[in-house]
Amino acid sequence: MLPVTSLFQRFERIRIHGGYHKSYLNGLEGTVIWGRPVPRHQWRWQYVVELDTPVENGLNGPIRFPTLFDYNLSSLRSLSSPELHLGTRDEVSFDVVCGREGCLRRLGTFWECYFFDFDLEKNVETISVQTATWQSGITGHLFRVPHRIEICATFVLDTIARLLCMDPIHVYGPDSCSLK
């Protein structure tokens, strides 16, 4: 089956509706900030939505950027201004596996993804960073670190601050896997 086109455009205003397994999101409104076909199910799309108001879920902090399927959304038939979704400060968020990957957003920019991995060369002693573009078109940074270094949240924050000249704070941002 050929992939269908997206039902929602970037920055389209939406409402979350019935059928979603996290019922506390039903009825909430937000803006689609990213969308892509679901791997292995090209007739379905998933969207990263920025909620108008974060929701406390009691587990991992407030939810502001849920990933939802097309059938859980309905259009409010309006668009949000893209400028409203740019960073107002330097921010870093961690995916579920704390540290190795996540998202970052700088003042005046959209979310980018980052990924920390060990350098393939065993004798490398320095940390390197290169810009990356993932298959979805989202951009970001790939960090290569020596094998002897333990990758943890503190190391990630310090390295991002130093190599990208940021002064980041930890926030609960979108899931980088949903953006990639």
Residues 79-90 pLDDT 10s: 999 999 999 999
Residue 43 or residue 93, greater confidence:
93
With a pLDDT cut of 70, the percent of the chain lying above it is 90
Alpha-carbon span 115 to 127, nearest angstrom: 13
Please tell me the predicted confidence (pLDDT) of residue 2. Answer: 45
pTM: 0.88
All structural domains of the chain, each given as residue ranges with its CATH number in brackets, are 12-82 (2.30.30), 86-179 (no CATH)
Task: Give residue 4's pLDDT band: very low, low, confident or very high (50, 70, 90).
Answer: low
Q: Which of helix, strand or coil describes residue 154?
A: helix
Residue 1 pLDDT greater than 70, yes or no = no
Q: What is the mean pLDDT of residues 66-92?
A: 95
Alpha-carbon span 166 to 109, nearest angstrom: 13
Characterize 116-144 residue by residue with b for buried, 16 or more Cβ atoms within 10 angstroms of its Cβ, and e for exposed.
Answer: beebeeeeeeebebeebebeeebebbbbb
Please tell me the predicted confidence (pLDDT) of residue 125. Answer: 84
Please tell me the predicted confidence (pLDDT) of residue 143. Answer: 95
